[in-house]
Chains A and B, each alone.
Chain A
Amino acid sequence: MATQRGTGLPSRLDALLRRPRPRVVSLVGLALVGVLAVWLLVNLVKNPQDFFTVFLIGLTTGTVYALAALGYTLVYGILQLINFAHGDVFALSGLFASTMILTVFELTEESAAIVIVLGLLATTLVVIAFGATVNAVIERVAYRRLLAAPRVTLLIAAVGMSFLVQNIALAIYDVNFRRVPELIPRSNVFSIGGVNYQWNKLSVILITVPVLLALIWLVSSTRQGKAMRATAQNPDAAAMVGIDVARTISFTFALAGALAGIGALLFLLQFNIRYDTGFELGLIAFTAAVLGGIGNLTGAVLGAVTIGLIQAFNEGLSWYTPGSDWTRSIVFGVLIAILVFRPQGLLGEQTPDRA
């Protein structure tokens, strides 16, 4: 019938008419992206200095989010589980790091540079071990018995675990915010046209990037990484070729916990932290993971940086900006928009339907 209609028309026009039309949904999605682009552009033109300052803030925050988002994406990739407790493990690790810095190593702004460096290095190692242990223990205690149960059971257990971990942090650290002294100087790395960038912000990126490279190497080039990818792809087949699936899952949880530990330390050096910080942060990080395409490591980083930028732009720009009152709504709005318009995420390999 289509050919019937097509006869008489020039062939190129015919091809154009028969081209699959974009669905209304994707048009709406494109329109939203367009509005966002225009908004950013107008802000850039009106006040470039603010724009770039805010951009750098967003980049730093986004990098910290990336470390948390990777934890979600690693666990989701292997178990298809949203590990709700991950954000709370992040917060608990951060609080633990504050104990290490304040009480064990007693670092202050006046400490000698070498003491600060060594102290932070030691804290990093301890916090990595802490995060990895906590996450692996959670998996062993709460999730392992449920791996063969219906999926919703596991998910509900994860929600319960999140509250449990949060209250453990509450019991140990009470409700007060914890902060650490400015161990990394706030002096400028560069200052171009009124746009400043400080060492304490750059240090976040200097630490995160090697960690990410190491992670990608681990997953793509080592034996353990191969086992993880095999388990994510098909656990039954992986078990059949001799992979210890339970151990691989434990390892993945420990790895996610270790990343949360590093992320929490970096977060602590930038912001203050308390027992319930992990809840909102976890939601943001999960959104970032979904935005990038859940199960995709590079995607998680990209998504986290995007979310960090969106948050910073929302809180820092001036022209038609909703402001920090609306940050949470905007982050979730992004999440919902992504799931509606592009469920596979920016770089997604998996779609929610497949999960």
Chain B
Amino acid sequence: MSEPRGSESPEHARHPATGGGLGPVGEAWSGLPPIVRRLLPLGVVLALALAYPYIVSDLRGFGVAGDFFPQLSSVVIILVFTMMAVGLNVVVGYCGLLDLGYVAFYAAGAYTAGWLASGHFQQVNFHLGSVGISSEAAGIHISLFLVLLLAGVFTAAAGIVIGLPTLRLRGDYLAIVTLGFGEIIPQVVRNGDDFGGFNATNGTFGINPIDSPGFGTSLSDAVGLPASFQQSFQRERLFYWSILALILFTVFCCVRLRDSRLGRAWIAIREDETAAAAMGIPLMRTKTWAYAIGAFFGGIAGAFYASFKSGAFPSDFFFNISVFLLCMVILGGLGSVWGVVAGGVLLGWLNVEGLAVLGSKFNDAAGTNIEIAKYQFGIYGAIIVVMMLFRPTGLIPEQRRKRELEEGVHDESLYEVSK
């Protein structure tokens, strides 16, 4: 076995953590107060993100480099998937439960939006703060902001129901069972147009249109808030800022959760389940919480995306999405919230626009004609394998997990293999 601890050379010890040998910029940086050092990068990224809608058209005009800046509507999709990845990180990264069926929560969220904010149930007529549609329209129309919350709660409940029978299984069995649920739920959705004559999901046609978020005409007239996002001239900007706010909310929750009693219990379970149980952590309850909270964010993201697309279709939910989200988490760094955000944005961009752009540039340069986008999941698979082999901590490692991997605090290894 290689000895990672050998890297603790004396020279290394003289320059702990920050600073040492980074030149004048590094010196100045380490001279700043810690709070500034912590918040400055976040503030810069946030400012850029907030301003992105105003500068995107200029950026895209920058000749060759301009193609690498995604359109605003693509950014909304990227951020939706990033939000799901941050939610998945709670389950996989914090608690160490490999969930291969996260797409089920996405589906649950999207269909909650479909049920509670569309004309799908023609037999009833229920309005609660709906915007942008006639108040006589049949179906259930609840304000989308409320629906997001309800979708989160419903999906969390679904997570608990899925979790209860399966969370007592360890590791790999859980992976395959979650995968099973990730396959069952889309099939139920696809075939759910006739449960003894009751049309629950409208089958392969999906549910559309789904209502838009918005503040209604009275608030719009009074304080100028947008009445309905879909009908606004600034549709994409409004959705963009909303998902940005949702991501920030998710990240905030996840960071705070990580440092909470519950979060420490999750990490204890990840590091050593038996030891955690011996220290009095109730395994089932703690794992179920991880599952429910991960599902909560997935449900909100799913409902938001359904509203953005104005529809929920069974063809959106397939296994590959679960692996795609897992790949975001792994690339960014299991357990590292900022890493997952970075990994999510990067892979999301590759998925929505990047691969097509890179592919056409490659084909132009090399004179070939390869459809790179066709092999996207092969590329994600390769990323997963390479990351696991060479950098299992991810791009931005979580400190604790890094130590865990380096010092070998984990399940008993099977044996040591001579290289």
Contacts and interface: CB of A to CB of B under 8 A. Distances in A.
A325 B183 contact: no
Given A147-B415, A148-B1, A339 B177 contact: yes
Contact of A332 (B184, B374, B413, B416): B184
Interface stretch (B135-143, B243-251, B381-389): B381-389
A335 interface: yes
A329 B187 contact: yes
B388 A156 contact: yes
Given A155-B171, A328-B183, A164 B413 contact: no
A101 interface: no
A163 B381 contact: yes
Contacts of B169: 339, 343, 352-353
Contact of B411 (A150, A166, A236, A325): A150
Interface residues of B, number: 54
A290 B172 CA distance: 12
B319 A159 contact: no
A202 to B, nearest CB: 32
Contact of A149 (B177, B374, B384, B392): B392
B201 to A, nearest CB: 13
A239 interface: yes
B236 to A, nearest CB: 32
Contact of B415 (A167, A168, A239, A336): A239
A301 interface: no
Given A163-B378, A235-B414, A151 B326 contact: no
B271 to A, nearest CB: 9
A159 B410 contact: no
A194 interface: no
Nearest to A234: B415
Interface in B352-393: 374-375, 377-385, 388-389, 392
B415 A79 contact: no
B388 A355 contact: no
A326 interface: yes
A336 B165 contact: yes
A128 interface: no
B144 to A, nearest CB: 30
Contacts of B330: 156
Contact of A148 (B165, B177, B188, B414): B414
A145 B385 contact: no
Interface residues of A, number: 53
B417 A352 contact: no
A283 interface: yes
A338 B388 CA distance: 31
Contacts of A154: 388
B106 to A, nearest CB: 18
B415 A170 contact: no
Contacts of B418: 246
B77 interface: no
A146 B377 contact: no
B180 A332 contact: yes
A159 B389 contact: no
Contacts of A167: 375, 377-379, 381
Contact of B381 (A146, A160, A332, A355): A160
A149 B380 CA distance: 21
A161 B176 contact: no
A283 B166 CA distance: 17
A159 B375 contact: no
Contacts of B414: 79-80, 147-148, 235
A142 B180 contact: no
A185 interface: no
Interface string A341-355: 001000000001101
Contacts of A352: 169-170, 173
A219 interface: no
Given A148-B417, A326-B187, A333-B184, A160 B177 contact: no
B179 interface: yes
A145 to B, nearest CB: 6
B191 A235 contact: no
Interface string B180-202: 11011001101100000000000
A355 B319 contact: no
Contact of B184 (A163, A170, A235, A328): A328
B59 interface: no
Given A160-B381, A160-B384, A152 B170 contact: no
A9 interface: no
Interface in A111-166: 142, 144-157, 159-164, 166
A286 B171 CA distance: 15
A283 B100 CA distance: 13
Interface of A: 79-82, 142, 144-157, 159-164, 166-168, 170-171, 235-236, 239, 245-246, 279, 283, 286, 290, 325-326, 328-329, 332-333, 335-336, 339-340, 343, 352-353, 355
22 contacts: A142-B388, A142-B389, A145-B389, A146-B388, A148-B414, A150-B410, A153-B392, A161-B381, A163-B323, A163-B380, A163-B381, A164-B382, A167-B375, A167-B378, A235-B414, A283-B179, A283-B180, A335-B176, A335-B180, A343-B173, A353-B169, A353-B170
Interface of B: 1, 96, 98, 100, 165-166, 168-173, 175-177, 179-181, 183-184, 187-188, 190-191, 319, 323, 326-327, 330, 374-375, 377-385, 388-389, 392, 404-405, 410-411, 413-419
Which 5 pairs from chain A and chain B are nearest by CB? A167-B378, A163-B381, A160-B384, A332-B180, A150-B410
Given A163-B384, A336-B181, 8 more contacts: A156-B98, A160-B380, A170-B378, A235-B415, A326-B191, A335-B180, A340-B166, A343-B173
